[in-house]
Amino acid sequence: MTTPNNGDTVTIDYVLKRGDGEEVGNTAQTGPQDLQLGSGQIFPQIEEALTGLEVGQSATVAIDSDNAFGPRREELVIDIPRANLPPEPAPQPGMALQAQSPDGQPMTLIILEVGDEAVKVDGNHPLAGEDVTFELTLRDIKQAA
């Protein structure tokens, strides 16, 4: 029986669902994902589940919102003057903008509304405030050297 350990690279398939069961992502769209265990690339609950699996086995991991993408923060919904945006492409609801957070980290802002003078954007992760469930299947283990 071979299970992955810290430092190993694993290949997984996953299905990501909101707490209400709505599917919001999967590797059928993106292809299998390679992750190095112990590198902080994924939620600790997923790493823990993967270390107990053998190739071909599956697990379901439920993660509450506080430990997933965090709570929804209303202070991340802000208005940006249109004069601060490039003229092209014209802003549209649902469009993503790249910005820099006050601490210098890149962040994605989603346009909610477009007004004559300002654009309302949301800096929350799309799954902020949501409990999520990952259905995982371990496809391969590449043991660390």
The pTM for the full model equals 0.81
Give the list of residues 6+ apart from residue 5 with CB closer than 8 angstroms, or none: 37, 51, 143, 144
Show me where the domains of the chain are located: 9-69+127-142, 74-122
pLDDT in tens, 36-89: 999 998 999 999 999 999 999 999 999 999 999 999 999 999 999 999 888 888
Statement: 74-122 belongs to CATH 2.40.10.330:
yes
Alpha helices in the chain (DSSP H): 27-30, 44-50
Statement: 9-69+127-142 belongs to CATH 3.10.50.40:
yes
